[in-house]
Amino acid sequence: MEKDNKEKVEISKNFIEEIIDEDLKNNVYNGRVVTRFPPEPNGYLHIGHAKSICLNFGLAQKYNGKCHLRFDDTNPTTEDIEYVESIKNDVKWLGFDWGSNLYFAADYFDKLYDYAEQLIKLGKAYVCHLTPEELKEYRGTLTQPGKESPYRQRSVEENLKLFRDMAAGKFKEGECVLRAKIDMASPNMNMRDPILYRIRFVEHYRTGKKWVIYPMYDFAHPLEDYIERITHSICTLEFEDHRPLYDWVLQSLNLKECPKQIEFARLNLSYTVMSKRKLLELVENKYVSGWDDPRLPTIAGLRRRGYTPESIRSFCERVGVAKRDNVVDVALLEHSLREDLNLRAQRVMCVLRPLRLIIDNYPEGRVEELQAVNNPEDPSAGTRPVPFSRELYIEQEDFMEDPPKKFFRLAPGRTVRLRYGYLVTCTNAVKNDKGEITEVHCSYDPDSLSGEAGGPKAKATLHWVSAAHSLPAEVRLYDRLFMSEDPGEGKDDFKADLNPDSLKVLQSCRMEPSLAGAQPGGRAALARVSDRP
Ligand code: ATP
Ligand code: MG
């Protein structure tokens, strides 16, 4: 069933492409296709944003159009330049290019202000002095119509003067607002004379102290799209009920070749929170180490977790574009990464919990360079030398003194293969006075080296490193950040579902010497360790 759906998504066009095709056929925008990705710089981008980025930039590529990167920075309180830089970096890293089309909504504040004056002159906006509590009360409810404001019939001249006074800082915060004059009885609450501008005595990270009034999203967004000559303005489903207002703003100002808003279902992932408010709470209160903590669904976190841009893009492609909200299994995201790294990541050997293994019949002081395959999926990746010697480390869990039936790894009398190396047979184990095993002794078969054909068979192949040549390493093992599919569901606090074991730090690991020059951000798959689900 799931497979059928996926195939359908791949072969047929999605509903947004159908709309664009229709517009192209009818020459609505003179053959232009211009989309935009409009993040608010109030947090780091997450996998949901990646979905929107792939969709918007992807459509531009497909239709030979353009996609703008626009910072939707009309709210001065939460925005910051740090976020602007991280967002640019993440979009680029995902593999998309906005070219010269980088815009900031704050750069349109003058234009937006002029449009607001025009609305006033057209008799379609008024300054309202109701208090915030009264505004709420007058708005009505879903079942009851709202009430008209006593300030609704002010003259154009009076409204213009008052609006200019608002902009000049002559009123206090909350003392008045500019509202659209639409319909207080509309069944759509968004159309009940919504607020267009409010007073905020807050400095803006781009415009400084210039403004003390700031436009509301529903007023600013359609005009930002219009100013940039966007054709298809794609947003998530919560904005469906705002579309009449989006259209009202543009139509009331008699604008031509207006953009059209199209809604699609936002990406939700199981075991994941994506709300910026919740992510900020996790970062600020140090539940995670920062916005780029590998357990977060942020692009920066996924990058540190080892995700490639290709794996994220292929995940977004697989998920497709839906019209109705749904939850995608996080396992699909993880699978996209495995699939990609499987083809590309260099394999290396690293022992997480070392146990010393001594090959008694191997000459002391001798070192052999064995050839290890870099990537079994990709012969062109070649091989690398790994030093082999008399004393090695293997994983503690790969040895059992008294093994149960189904354990095929090392035990007294058992023979296993050391990957890319020899067969070894365990002779005995040494314990300390606490009864813990401190080293195991083996003998090796000098004629058993694994060559092209793999050498004689053993029931298990273990990874290992040479004790003297390996490097000390700290390994951080990350698990899912939340224990429940829908974090916080049925609880007061989503943090109650945090997984206490989401990070394990192992300090005394040993890795093969080829990793000595590894750079931050590099990727390698730990043989046998990374494979485990
Ligand atoms: P907030 O949680 O503060 O409302 P947001 O997640 O909507 O913020 P924005 O910066 O406004 O963040 O988002 C930029 C763009 O990314 C918007 O067009 C939005 O529709 C889209 N987007 C955000 N979250 C998702 C998601 N989970 N799936 C798909 N698109 C998303
Ligand atoms: Mg938003």
Is 284 noted as a catalytic residue in this protein?
no
Q: Could you tell me if the CB of 266 is within 6 A of ligand 1?
A: yes
* Ligand with an atom nearest the CA of residue 267: 1
pLDDT tens readout for residues 471-517: 999 999 999 999 999 999 999 999 999 999 999 999 999 999 999 98
User: Cα–Cα distance between 222 and 258 in angstroms, integer?
Assistant: 9
Is 364 noted as a catalytic residue in this protein?
no
Q: Could you tell me if the CB of 306 is within 6 A of ligand 1?
A: no
- How many whole angstroms from 39 Cα to the centroid of ligand 1? 7
Residue whose Cα lies nearest atom 22 of ligand 1: it is 49
Q: What is the token pair recorded at 353?
A: 């919990």
pLDDT tens readout for residues 39-66: 999 999 999 999 999 999 999 999 999 9
Q: How confident is the model at residue 67 (pLDDT cuts 50, 70, 90)?
A: very high
Q: Can you spell out the DSSP letters for 469-491?
A: T-EEEEEEEE--SBSSSSTTTTS
Helix (H, G, I), strand (E, B) or coil at 90: helix
User: Cα–Cα distance between 322 and 331 in angstroms, integer?
Assistant: 19
Place of tokens 């915060």: 173
- Say which of 6, 17, 40, 88 is annotated catalytic: 40
* Model pTM score: 0.91
Determine the pLDDT at residue 451: 63
- How many whole angstroms from 459 Cα to the centroid of ligand 1? 51
- Residue 532 in this model has a pLDDT that exceeds 80: no
Determine the pLDDT at residue 529: 79
Which ligand 1 atom lies nearest to the CA of residue 275? 2
pLDDT tens readout for residues 308-351: 999 999 999 999 999 999 999 999 999 999 999 989 899 999 99
Tell me whether strands 437-444 and 354-359 are parallel, antiparallel or unpaired. Answer: parallel
pLDDT tens readout for residues 466-480: 999 999 999 999 999
Do residues 395 and 508 make contact, with C-beta atoms less than 8 angstroms apart? no
Determine the pLDDT at residue 533: 43
Q: Could you tell me if the CB of 357 is within 6 A of ligand 1?
A: no
Q: CB neighbours of 77 closer than 8 A, spacing ≥ 6? A: 200, 202
Burial of 284 (0-12, 13-18, 19+ CB in 10 A): exposed
Residue whose Cα lies nearest atom 10 of ligand 1: it is 39
